[in-house]
Structure 1
Amino acid sequence: MLRDTPTGKPIPTTAHNTSSTSVYISWKAPPPDTILGEFLGYRITYRPRDRDPNDTKEIYIRDNTVEVSYLVVRAKDN
């Protein structure tokens, strides 16, 4: 079954480092009339500042609650 692609995007409201290995981000949800089908969650794509722009990682948040906290622990690599 094909899913419709949302026409709206979340609007970032805050993004800042909380330590040398973590960030805090927040956003406003896209308008409900832009979801176009079942809401599946958010995909956050990121990369360390000193890395190749194509060297990205992704986190999926399959939740639409008002506030949610996630701890992502990753071994440091050079």
Structure 2
Amino acid sequence: MMLHVPHVLSADEVHALRAVLDATDWVDGRETVGPQGAQVKNNRQLPEHSPIGRELGQQVLAAVSRHPLFFAAASTCCPS
């Protein structure tokens, strides 16, 4: 199931995350795929084990987890 969850992050949160991302070194996305994927993958990304990527990911996951729409959908989909 796909669900559009709007306004997960505030404008200030997006601004803060973007500032960190803009100041971070990015790598060629082909570093994380095999030979076949490297022929078509064309992107820049944070290094695979980047502590910054992990921290920002945790911030986004926390924001999604406290969003009432996400919480309601998850509770309906997967009751405990």
Normalising to structure 2: TM-score of the pair?
Answer: 0.25
Quick check: which one's strand share is greater?
A: 1
Structure ranking higher on relative contact order (CA contacts 8 Å, 6+ apart) = 2
